[in-house]
Structure 1
Amino acid sequence: MFSYKIEDDLYLKLIELKDAEKIFHLIDQSRDHLRKWLGWVDMTIFEDDYKRIVEQSLVQFAENKSIDTVIIYKDKYVGKAAFNKIDPSIKQVTLAYWLGNEYQGKGIITKVVKSLTDYAIHEMNMNRVEIRVAKENKKSRAVPERLDFVQEGCIRRAEWLYDHYVDHTVYSMLAEDWMK
């Protein structure tokens, strides 16, 4: 199983079915906050809904198509980070993340994204890490900007969120730039 220590009180571990209850409760506590930017929130009304998502992510992990992790900070489940897509043919991963509302503003996600970018480039031998963020999600966009990812452009109407489209800003980090 995948596990990755970032700091003494911050680490990632591959999500497992036994984690579904804790993550579901975190989603439930942060539902209004998460719903603004994540289209799957209303599809996780019950814990069993989330268990199905975990089962799918474990199949994707076994097929080397993704790595879905829980973020554990000070022994609490505080969010998730994932390589939603791993494409070894072009040596690229797509990185996504979210935090429960009460854990924002502590630098957790910046440390997680930095560590996962480092892992993708140095351990997985990837050439490119891509992050797509809703254009209006300023907090989430600040993470790749803080880490000097390159803003490549905007995908217009990239995602349907409940009753409207949102544009995505695309960021990338290339291995050669990360190593500088």
Structure 2
Amino acid sequence: MFIHKIDEDVSLKLIGLSDAERIFELTNDSREYLREWLPWLDGTTKIEDTVGFIKMCTNGFAENKSLHAVIQFKGDIAGVSGFNSINWSNKTAYIGYWLGHGYQGNGIMTKVVRALTDYAFAELKLNKVEIRAAEGNKKSRGIPERLGFVNEGTIRKAEWLYDHYVDHVVYGILADEWL
């Protein structure tokens, strides 16, 4: 089992079916908060939906195309993060993340994204890490900005969010910029 301890309070654990109940509970408890920026909430209404997501994640990991982990904060699952996809031919990983409402404001996600970026460059030997965030999502955009990612531009109407499109800001950092 993959577990990466970031500090005394925060660690990453490879997502597994045993996490389904807690992830679904966290999703449900944070539904209104998460729904502002994540398009999949209305399609996650029962634990079986979370089980399906986890199976997709474990298949992606087995095929070496992605890596999803649960974020553990003081031993409790606080969210999910990882590489939504890994493009081996271009040596690029795309980080995605979400955190339950009650865990905001502890610096957790900045630590997680820093650790994932370190892993991408040091262990996976990738050349670039990208993060995309909705233009209006200041909290999500603050993470790559704090970590020195470069704002590479905006993709107009990149995502349908329930009843409207949102633009995505693309952030990237290269291995030689990170080191």
TM-score between both structures, scaled by the size of structure 2: 0.99
Paired residue for 2:32?
A: 32
Paired residue for 1:126?
A: 126
> What aligned pairs does 1:17-56 form with structure 2 within 5 A after superposition?
17-56=17-56
Residue 137 (1) aligns with residue 137 (2): yes
| Alpha-carbon distance in 2 for matches of 1:60, 1:148 | 28
Aligned residues: 179
Residue 157 (1) aligns with residue 157 (2): yes
Output one character per residue of 1:71-114: Cα deviation in whole Å (capped at 9) or x when no partner.
00001110110100101111100001110011111100000000
Gaps of 5+ in 1: none
Q: Residue 2 of structure 1: CA displacement? A: 2.3
Paired residue for 2:116?
A: 116
The DSSP-based 3-state class of the residue aligned with 1:80 is: strand
The DSSP-based 3-state class of the residue aligned with 2:89 is: coil
Residue 75 (1) aligns with residue 72 (2): no
| Alpha-carbon distance in 2 for matches of 1:8, 1:47 | 30
Residue type at the aligned position of 1:128: K
Gaps of 5+ in 2: none
Write out the 4+ residue segments of structure 1 that deviate beyond 3 Å after TM superposition: none
Percent identity of equivalent pairs: 54
Q: Residue 62 of structure 1: CA displacement? A: 0.2
Residue 4 (1) aligns with residue 11 (2): no
Residue type at the aligned position of 2:67: I
The DSSP-based 3-state class of the residue aligned with 2:136 is: coil
| Alpha-carbon distance in 2 for matches of 1:10, 1:152 | 29
Paired residue for 2:178?
A: 178
Q: Residue 3 of structure 1: CA displacement? A: 1.8
Residue type at the aligned position of 1:70: V
TM-score between both structures, scaled by the size of structure 1: 0.98
